[in-house]
Amino acid sequence: MRKYTCSICGYVYDEAIGDPARGIAPGTKWEDVPEDWHCPLCGATKADFAEDKINNKSATPELSIVENEANSMSELSFGEVSALCSNLSKGCAKQYRLEEAELFNQLAEFYKAKSSIAGAGQLKDISTLGERDLASGYVQANLIAADASDRGALRALVWGEKVTRILNSILRRYEKQQDTLLENKHLYVCDICGFVYIGDKLPDICPVCKVPNEKITEIKRR
């Protein structure tokens, strides 16, 4: 019997145990689990699971970090730069670097004011950006944080990568199900790490950053 681990929250699907609460009998092989089955804890799809625990990433070839960073920044919209500065502000605040947090917050507000309202294709654009971040952005950011021995940044990057994966998972589900994905469901967002959850019952703790669910806010529909 094999085991498969959710890359978002760490839930382990054990073929020997199955998921009886959701109709998956003990002994059910992973390949026989229905494609529409989702992680019981965070709602991730089968595509977000990997056999056993996720292995350490293979060594990354040397990159011209400055060159790649410059090219990536030149492609960012005002809205994306605003979001980036906002996240940096929150990260600084959690490390009690209040002066830096305020400066990043001012930058976030500045670029937010300059950003235009997103048009058609917004969800597709978000998915594309998420895939790009997972493929290269987080790799480069982890290299920089590790080189600086910044444990706070490394932890924030772990959270950010998991949240990006779950967002992409939700976008894939939405592409197939459209508005039926949200029918009779509640939408929640973690105030700490940004984890997004769609479901009937709020988890006891955030699957990503492990804060109690009192820190998870329900997003009301207009």
Instruction: Please give the domain boundaries of the chain with CATH numbers for all domains.
Output: 3-51 (2.20.28.10), 78-114 (no CATH), 184-221 (2.20.28.10)
pLDDT number for residue 116 = 55
Mean pLDDT along residues 14-26: 91
pLDDT per residue over 117-176, tens digit each?
Answer: 544 456 677 788 888 888 888 889 989 989 988 888 888 899 889 989 888 888 888 888
Q: Which of 145, 144, 140, 189 is nearest to 167 (CA)?
A: 189
φ, ψ for residue 13 (rounded to 5)?
Answer: -90, 115
Mean pLDDT of the chain: 81
Residue 91 reports pLDDT greater than 90: no
Q: What's the CA gap between 151 and 30, in Å, rounded?
A: 35
Task: Name the one residue in this structure whose structure tokens are 């090219």.
Answer: 71
Residue 30 reports pLDDT greater than 90: yes
